[in-house]
Amino acid sequence: MRPGPATRGFTLVEMVVALLIFAILAGAGVGLLRASVDTQEAVGGALADLSAAARLRALLSADLTQVVVRPVDGAPAGFAGTSTELRLVRSFEPAERVVGSSGLQAIRWQVEGGRLVRQSVTPSGTATGPAAVLARDIDAVSLRYRAADGGWRSQWAPLATEAALPRAVEMRMQRRGEAEVTITVALPEGPAPARTTA
């Protein structure tokens, strides 16, 4: 007696088709999982870059909003900049202040060996400790200073007829393989410019 259609199993062709469908679904699942992991890594990298830019912006803003125009240890008053370096004298926050100190600190921002560094310096420019590396893989940094007349300058050495501080400082930073980051910080109002009489 021959078995009827109800008692027959799957044929080899049906098994191969079923395995092929299962393999396609499994491959799609693995591809979806891999895409999800790649997306998480990309988002994590982008968030790390955003956090680094936010920290850089906060530190530059803190330095510039606490800038003071007073001589430190007999050196000339405290703000000068070129297109690649910024030197300033800032006051300490109360939590940072060391007992017996003047509450003033000279700071230098510059690029050294492809790294953006911030360093505490003496008024003559000698480093007083290790530099804090704020960003790596730097191709270029350019600084500009906004004068009271609204114009931007690549250097800041105030003229006799203007305030000792610029109105704002702009930093443009280009890291290898990334888009340019621009940070602009407005400075507090400084002393009024000297008036000339005719």
In this structure, the dihedral spanned by the alpha carbons of residues 90, 71, 169 and 154, taken in order and rounded to 10 degrees, is -150
**Greater model confidence, 125 or 180:** 180
76 — pLDDT class (breaks 50, 70, 90): low
3 — pLDDT class (breaks 50, 70, 90): low
61: phi then psi, degrees, rounded to nearest 5:
-65, -40
pTM of the model: 0.70
Residue % of the chain over a pLDDT of 70: 78
Q: For residue 191, what pLDDT is reported?
A: 45
Burial class, 31, CB count within 10 angstroms (exposed 0-12 / middle 13-18 / buried 19+): exposed
4 — pLDDT class (breaks 50, 70, 90): low
Partner residues linked to 116 by β-bridges: 111, 135
Q: For residue 123, what pLDDT is reported?
A: 66
Q: Is the pLDDT of residue 14 over 50?
A: yes
155 — pLDDT class (breaks 50, 70, 90): very high
For the ranges 10-14, 85-89, 125-129, 170-174, the maximum mean pLDDT occurs at 170-174
Residue type at position 59: L
141 — pLDDT class (breaks 50, 70, 90): very high
Q: Is the pLDDT of residue 51 over 90?
A: no
Nearest residue to 124 (alpha-carbon basis) of 163, 73, 54, 85: 73
Q: Measured between alpha carbons, how far apart are the two ends of the chain, in Å? A: 127
Q: For residue 47, what pLDDT is reported?
A: 87
Least confident of 3-7, 41-45, 49-53: 3-7
Q: For residue 197, what pLDDT is reported?
A: 39
How many whole angstroms separate alpha carbon 59 and alpha carbon 143? Answer: 15
Q: For residue 93, what pLDDT is reported?
A: 62
Strand ranges for 63-196 from DSSP E = 79-81, 85-91, 104-112, 115-121, 132-135, 138-146, 152-153, 168-175, 181-186
